[in-house]
């Protein structure tokens, strides 16, 4: 069964909301919330997430059946720049579970280094 545009949007909203609630709860941080759509200068789907050391983390959430990791990472990178954030991560739906803690997170190695080191590494194509 295929999704209609409205059912796909509703699924995306539910997924983003569950991710935001989960992060706010486990991080004990009431600043974490689902971000309102901002148009051309999109800054990600979840606001208020911080890395150790305080750098902002952009989260792009995807609840779709078909993987597009390269496209999603490119989108997260644009949104990271729009938000002047430390890293951009993609949270994508793991089929068969609605548990937010069981969803997948994808990033580049440069983003992983930035999370671990607290600063973006020099060089690289990002």
What ranges do the domains of the chain cover?
5-117
Tens digits of residue pLDDT in 50-75: 999 899 999 999 999 999 999 999 99
The stretch 35-64 carries a mean pLDDT of 90
85 closest CA partner among 117, 109, 118:
118
With pLDDT > 90 as the criterion, what percentage of the chain qualifies? 77
How far apart are alpha carbons 60 and 69 in whole angstroms?
11
The residue among 114 and 123 whose pLDDT is bigger is 114
5-117 CATH fold: Trna Endonuclease; Chain: A, domain 1 (3.40.1350)
Burial class (CB in 10 A: 0-12, 13-18, 19+), 90: buried
Question: Could you tell me the pTM of the whole model?
Answer: 0.90
pLDDT band at 80, cuts 50/70/90? Answer: very high
pLDDT tens track for 83-95? 999 999 999 999 9
pLDDT reported for residue 123? 73
């Amino acid at each position: 069964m295929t999704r209609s545009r409205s059912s796909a949007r509703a699924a995306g909203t539910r997924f983003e909301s569950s991710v935001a609630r989960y992060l706010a709860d486990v991080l004990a941080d009431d600043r974490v919330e689902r971000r309102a759509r901002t148009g051309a200068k999109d800054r990600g789907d979840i606001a208020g997430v911080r890395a150790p050391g305080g750098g902002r983390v952009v989260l792009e959430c995807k609840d779709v059946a078909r993987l597009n990791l390269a496209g999603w990472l490119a989108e997260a990178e644009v949104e990271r720049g729009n938000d002047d954030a430390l890293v951009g991560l993609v949270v994508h739906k793991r089929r068969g579970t609605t548990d937010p803690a069981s969803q997948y997170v994808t990033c580049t190695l440069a983003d992983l280094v930035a999370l671990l080191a607290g600063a973006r590494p020099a060089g690289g194509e990002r």
